[in-house]
Structure formats: C-alpha cells, structure tokens
Amino acid sequence: MHHQIDSLAYTNHLRSLPPGHKLGFAIALFILGYLSPPPLQLLITLWLMVWVVVYAKIPAKIYLNLLALPVSFWLLSLPALIAGVSLNSHSTTVEMDALWGVQVGPLYLYCSQQGLDWASIVFTRAITLTSCLYFILLTVPFVEIIRVLRQLRCPTLITELLSLMYRFIFVLTETVLELLTAQQSRNGYAHWRVAWRSISLVVGQLLWRTLENYRQIALGLQSRGFNGELRVWHARRYQPNWRYIQEAIGGYCLLLLLLVVSR
Amino acid sequence: MTHNTMLMEFDQVAYTYPCSPQPALQGISWQIPQGKRCAVIGQNGCGKTTLFRLANGLYRPQRGVVRFSGEPLRYNRQALSQLRRQVGLVFQNPEQQLVATTVEEDLSYGLCNLGLAAREIEPRVQQTLQDFELTPLADYPVNYLSLGQKKRVAIADVMILQPTLLFLDEPTAFLDPKQTRSLRQLLDRIQATGTTIMIATHDLNFVYDWADWVFVMNHGQLIMENTPEDVFCQRHTLEDLGLGTPILVDVLDAIAHHTDDQGMINQRTIQASLRGLNQGIPSENV
C-alpha cells in the first residue's frame, strides 16, 4: 500500500500544480472542516472526492478503500461510544439518556442517546479530516512536501531526516522483501514454529544489514563530497492552473458563507 | 614513461582493514596512464575495491603514498573535496550512492556540495540530464528506477563534476546485455571528453573488447599489466589465478590448433575442445 500511494502521488493529474497551492488548499479545508457542523462536513468530503477522483484521476476503488480505513476505526470504537453502564437503572440521567437497555445482574447496560450523537459527530469529522489528509497524500509527492517545508524555513535537520527516511524506507522494505522471499523459497514458512524462527532470523539479519548499509552509504556520501549538509537543487516546473484556483477559492468562500449562516 | 603522463600513482601502498587478519593490499605499486581505457581484473577479494577507495581518498594508506598528478594526496577536508572533484568513483551498488529523492536533485547534490549558485547548477544539471538521456526521468523518484537506470544516474552523478579520472567498480554487474551495450556507448562518450577511465570487472569479454590496458591483481598485489592481447595470451598464468580467458581468445586459439596443413578447419573438433575448455574455467557469460 505504501508503494501504491506514493506512486499515485507521482502520477496523478494534479501533479503539475504548485505543491504550495495544494497544501494550502488542504490545510484551509482541514480547518474549515474542523469548525463545521456535520452537513457541511459531508459537503466538504464530497467536494474533495471530486478533486481526488475526477480531477486527480485517482482510481475510485483505491480512494474508497482508503476512506474505509477511518470508517473501520470508527466502527471499532462504536461500542465504546454508545454503550453505557450504570449501577442504578432508575437515576434520571440514565433514564433520560437511555434509548434501550437491559438489566444484567446488578448492572444496567444501555444504549446512550448522547453517545449516539457523539458517534455521528465523530464519524463525519473523522471522514472529513482524513479526506483532507488523503488529498495531500495522494496529490503531493513526499519530496515536494519536504521542499515546501524547506521554503518555509523548517530546520534543515528535520527536512534532511525526513528526506533520508523517505529514501531509505524503500531500501529497507526491499531488503525485508528479499529476505522473506529467500526464506519462503526454502520453506521457511511451512508451519508456525518454523515461521517464528524465520521471522527472528529476518529481524537479526536486518539489524546487521542496516549497519552494513549505513557504513557503505557513509562512504558513498563521502565520495560525493558530503560536507555536513544535504543540499540539493531542483527545477521549478509547476504550472498554476486558473480553472482549479478559481474553483478552489470560489468553493471555499461558499463553504465559509454556509458556515457563517449556519451559526 | 615519464611522470607527467601518469595521472595517478600508487607507491608501495599497503592497506589492511580493521579486524582483518590479512592485508587487502600488500605494498602495491602501479600507475594509471592518462587517456587510456584501463581495466583491473582479479578474483573476488583481490583488493580491487580497496584500491579504488584509496584512490578516492576514502581510505588512507597505512604504508606508502598515493599520488595524483604527481602530488601526494593530502587528507584534510579541503584537499579531499578537491580530489573527489577530479577523481570520480562509481560504486558497484548504485543504491549506496544515490542520496537525494529525485534524479534531478541527486544530480545537483555534488554541485551543491561545491557551494555553486543555483544559476550555475541549473545549466549543468540540464546538460547532464541530456547527455545521459535522463531528461524524461528528471523529476522521477530514485526509488522507482530500475537497476540499470540507477547505475546510469550514479555515473551521471559523478560525471557532472567533470572529473579527469573516473573509477567504476563492477559497472556491468547486474546489467543485462542491452544495458551493458548502452553502458559501453556511455563509456565511449565519456572517454571522448578526455576523461581517463578505470574499471574493475569480472567480465573478461568486456575487458577484451573495450580496454587498452589491463592490470591483473591477486591477493593484494599487481601480478602483471599489459595490453589485453598480451595479457590474455598468458593462458596458464590466468588459469592459475582462477580467471580464465575471454571466449574470443579461446575460439582463436582453438582455430589455430585445429587447422590442418591445408588450412582446413575442423569445426567439430574445435567445438569439442571449446566445451572442454569451458568446463575448467569459472563460469563466464558466454
């Protein structure tokens, strides 16, 4: 999945837009989404879906799968949100709140009206805010996020760490996959006892290989004249698109207006 | 040969890796002639990679001196940075040399380290992208490149600094025949710009085909150096070193052996003798 999201970020149809515009748009929507009531939040979610699926041409199936992620978390936390437990089933607060309940021994289990309200608020908020984050994740390559951070004078230590981490996550996953395939081809996962042993070997090997890799990369950096700072240059070949800018600003103003009216 | 035609010189250089019982190089002396296509051959662990890293100033000799353009190497930061600008090293595994996230950023890395301004960097990056046919990949993340492409980027990364001497450690490793051919063309173009190239490889056919001057190493020592024709006619020495000979040399030898007095060539016996030969030789890509 990591790979897929990342490669979509490089191939989507909004790639040529300046990353600053996309980031600004998503962050502004994030703030608006946080402050809005549920109907407006759903509107934002739908609008972002148009941006991601129609404009950026991210396959709808992948996007819906990604959105299913916060929904599944929400489903998991649903029981905790709506269930109530009380020792006294006749207290007024419980009677006011309970939609439906059952007495189990000394405990009274009930379904809470307040909890249900909470759950619906959490649902729309979660789905709206993750939509905003997905918009960034799917349309702005990580490299460009780092560039924007650099422009915003984020400390070099952080941007360097981020870019090195990004670069070497791939080296690491590749190493892990190689090890796993090698073990599989030698029946390393035939049954669970062997599988555990194989996994422990992978972890041990990874540590060793990471150290070895570190040494080699340190040499590689030196031979390329590393002088304590990872500075790079890149061409700016972004093109602002007026049609998108108009829609983004117009839509945002409309949503803002709706928010003010609804208050 | 005089001093000024020798680009780099190793004088009695010895190097032992920390915690290693055996020296990687034992007092090796050799000279890299300017403008030639040089190749080093030798078994794994004979010290080729160590030699290259010493030449790039990554390791410091424990004994002996390395000279570049007649001057002994100095190991302070400034001198090393100057050296690495003139002596490029391409590692065997490109993964270890690619540090930035996109091709273009990676190319610019070496230039940024020299402290150049953006307006100087841009034309050089554009030119290198063109020279190495990387323009379509300029904004492409390094992670998604194929191994052949990564190798190309790694060579471009070094060549963008316009070194006078270029070391390539096993450049044909992991490359398919087509990629090897395009690497050859690339090397020809690099050489045409006046860069001296030195390659460490196991691919004897490549050496026979490409090099003008061959060094043979064994156990951290230089055994011989000569033109490929003269090196590869010493079949017994090479076999003792576990190296073998290029297939073309084998074929020519076999033809010479199995041609009768009337100049007739017996193909069947030639083929039989070649098959016999290949059994004794460590596998080469034929």
Q: What DSSP assignment string belongs to B16-32?
A: --TT-SS-SEEEEEEEE
pLDDT in tens, chain A (263 residues): 457 888 888 888 998 899 999 999 999 999 999 999 999 999 999 999 999 999 999 999 999 999 999 999 999 999 888 888 877 767 777 777 777 888 888 888 888 888 888 899 999 999 999 999 999 999 998 888 998 998 899 998 999 899 888 888 888 888 888 888 888 888 888 788 888 888 888 888 888 888 888 888 888 888 888 877 778 888 877 888 999 999 999 999 999 999 999 87
ipTM exceeds 0.95: no
Q: What end-to-end distance do the CA atoms of chain A give, in Å?
A: 40
pLDDT in tens, chain B (286 residues): 444 578 999 999 999 998 888 899 999 999 999 989 999 999 888 899 999 999 999 999 999 999 999 999 999 988 998 899 999 999 998 988 888 888 999 999 999 888 888 899 999 999 999 988 899 998 888 888 888 899 999 999 999 999 999 999 999 887 888 888 888 998 999 999 899 999 999 999 999 989 999 999 999 999 999 999 999 988 888 888 888 888 888 888 888 877 777 777 777 777 777 776 555 444 444 3
CA closest to B124 among chain A residues: A233
Question: Could you list the residue range(s) of the whole structural domain that residue B178 is in?
Answer: 3-245
Alpha helices in chain A (DSSP H): 2-11, 19-35, 38-49, 60-82, 92-97, 113-139, 142-151, 156-185, 192-223, 242-262
- Does residue B282 fall inside a structural domain? no
Q: Most distant CA pair in chain A: distance in Å?
A: 78
CA distance B255 to chain A (A): 44
Residues 233 through 262 of chain A touching chain B, CB cutoff 8 Å: 233-235, 237
> What integer pLDDT is reported at residue A249 of this predicted model?
94
Q: What DSSP assignment string belongs to A126-188?
A: HHHHHHHHHHHHHHS-HHHHHHHHHHTT--HHHHHHHHHHHHHHHHHHHHHHHHHHHHHHTTT
- Does residue B257 fall inside a structural domain? no
Question: Could you tell me if B140 and B153 are in contact, meaning their C-beta atoms sit under 8 angstroms apart?
Answer: no
- Does residue B271 fall inside a structural domain? no
Contact B122 A141 (CB under 8 A): no
Q: Mutate which of A162, A234, A238 to test chain B, going by most B C-beta atoms within 10 A?
A: A234
CA closest to A234 among chain B residues: B105
Q: Mutate which of B58, B96, B135 to test chain A, going by most A C-beta atoms within 10 A?
A: B96
Residue from the list A143, A146, A220 with its beta carbon closest to the beta carbon of B97 = A220
- The answer to whether A221 faces chain B, any CB pair under 8 Å, is yes
Other Cβ atoms closer than 10 A to B62: 11
Cα-based angle A169, A173, A179 (whole degrees, multiple of 5): 150
The phi, psi pair for B196, rounded to 5°, reads -80, 130
Tell me which residue has tokens 């649902």.
A123
- The answer to whether B81 faces chain A, any CB pair under 8 Å, is yes
**Length of chain B, in residues:** 286
- The answer to whether A142 faces chain B, any CB pair under 8 Å, is yes
Residue from the list A10, A171, A232 with its beta carbon closest to the beta carbon of B112 = A232
Contact A234 B144 (CB under 8 A): no
- Does residue B110 fall inside a structural domain? yes
Alpha helices in chain B (DSSP H): 48-55, 77-86, 103-113, 118-131, 147-159, 177-192, 204-210, 228-232, 235-240, 247-257, 267-280
- What distance in Å separates the CA atoms of residue B230 and residue B245, rounded to the nearest whole number? 12
**CA B176 to chain CA mean position, Å:** 17
Comparing CA positions, the residue from B131, B216, B224, B166 lying closest to residue B34 is B166
Contact A170 B143 (CB under 8 A): yes
> What integer pLDDT is reported at residue B129 of this predicted model?
93
Question: Could you tell me if A72 and A92 are in contact, meaning their C-beta atoms sit under 8 angstroms apart?
Answer: no
With beta carbons under 8 A apart, name residues in chain A contacting B100: 163, 167, 230, 232
- Does residue B265 fall inside a structural domain? no
With beta carbons under 8 A apart, name residues in chain B contacting A18: none
Q: What average pLDDT does the structure give for chain B?
A: 87
- Does residue B48 fall inside a structural domain? yes
Note the pLDDT tens digit of each residue in A183-228: 888 888 878 888 888 888 888 888 888 888 888 888 888 888 887 7
CA distance B98 to chain A (A): 8
Strands B213-218 and B221-226: antiparallel
Please list, in sequence order, all residues whose beta carbon lies within 8 angstroms of the beta carbon of residue B42, skipping any fewer than 6 positions away: B48, B216, B217, B218, B241, B243
Contact B96 A216 (CB under 8 A): yes
With beta carbons under 8 A apart, name residues in chain A contacting B108: 232-234
Please list, in sequence order, all residues whose beta carbon lies within 8 angstroms of the beta carbon of residue A81, skipping any fewer than 6 positions away: A115, A118, A119, A122
Residue from the list B77, B109, B141 with its beta carbon closest to the beta carbon of A232 = B109
Residue from the list A10, A166, A233 with its beta carbon closest to the beta carbon of B125 = A233
Residue from the list A143, A146, A224 with its beta carbon closest to the beta carbon of B109 = A224
The dihedral built from the CA positions of residue B89, B93, B95 and B96, taken in this order, carries a sign that is: negative
CA closest to B102 among chain A residues: A143
Contact B58 A223 (CB under 8 A): yes
DSSP 8-state secondary structure symbol assigned to residue A51: I
Q: Count structural domains, chain B.
A: 1
Contact A6 B114 (CB under 8 A): no
Structure tokens at B67: 């000279």
Cα–Cα distance list, A71 to A74, A145, B100 (Å): 5, 26, 36
- What distance in Å separates the CA atoms of residue B128 and residue B93, rounded to the nearest whole number? 21
Contact B99 A166 (CB under 8 A): no
CA distance A137 to chain B (A): 15
- What distance in Å separates the CA atoms of residue B232 and residue B205, rounded to the nearest whole number? 11
3-state DSSP helix/strand/coil percent for chain B, to nearest 5?
A: 45, 20, 35
Instruction: Give the CATH number of the domain where residue B27 resides.
Output: 3.40.50.300
- The answer to whether A143 faces chain B, any CB pair under 8 Å, is yes
Question: Could you tell me if B107 and B153 are in contact, meaning their C-beta atoms sit under 8 angstroms apart?
Answer: yes
Side-chain-facing half-sphere of A127: CA atoms under 13 Å: 26
Comparing CA positions, the residue from B84, B136, B143 lying closest to residue B110 is B84
> What integer pLDDT is reported at residue A2 of this predicted model?
54
- What distance in Å separates the CA atoms of residue B245 and residue B236, rounded to the nearest whole number? 10
With beta carbons under 8 A apart, name residues in chain B contacting A234: 102, 104-105, 108, 139
